[in-house]
Amino acid sequence: MIKKSISNCILFVVTVCLSAPVFAKDVSAKVMSYSCNTCHSSDRPLTRPDRMILKGQDANKLEKSLLDFKYDKRFSSIMGRISKGFTDTELKKLALYFSQLKGDD
Ligand code: HEC
């Protein structure tokens, strides 16, 4: 019984270690981006298309916009509240993620 528990424990640790790459940067940015796509989807943005398509935009520009929203340096109706829900590092990852999307991504 104890032997079985120990081997299950070892199996669990090995599984977690092997699955670590699944939690790499891009995946978490991708998961976070799901909460943006309702409004920022490139095929049917909810408001001004020129501002709402994030795909392929410059990463630094996106990051600056998000930080400006978060720290109330730029007026927003909704983005101030949304960006306050993320750490600065997460906003950087999101900016990088959206900047790297192209075509049908
Ligand atoms: C409820 C709809 C909504 C959601 C969800 C949303 N946004 Fe926005 N976003 C807006 C609106 C509206 C604006 C224009 C600024 C404002 O009034 O808040 C905007 C503006 C922006 C801009 C500035 C774009 C530019 O070119 O000026 C960025 C960058 C941005 N959003 C990123 C994001 C990210 C990243 C997420 C997900 C974490 C997200 N948004 C989620 C509605 C949304």
pLDDT in tens, 1-37: 556 665 654 544 445 444 544 444 455 899 999 899 8
Predicted confidence (pLDDT) per residue in 43-72, tens digit: 665 666 666 789 889 999 999 999 999 999
The finding on whether 7 has its CB within 6 A of some atom of ligand 1 is no
CA atoms 83, 87, 88, 93: torsion sign: negative
Residues 6+ positions from 28 with CB-CB distance below 8 Å: 93
Mutate to test the pocket of ligand 1, among 52, 57, 84, 92 (most ligand atoms within 8 A of CB): 52
Give the closest residue (by CA) to ligand 1 atom 36. Answer: 36
Cα 72 to its chain centre, rounded Å, is 21
Alpha-carbon distance of 93 to 89, in angstroms, equals 6
Say which residue the tokens 């940015």 belong to: 29
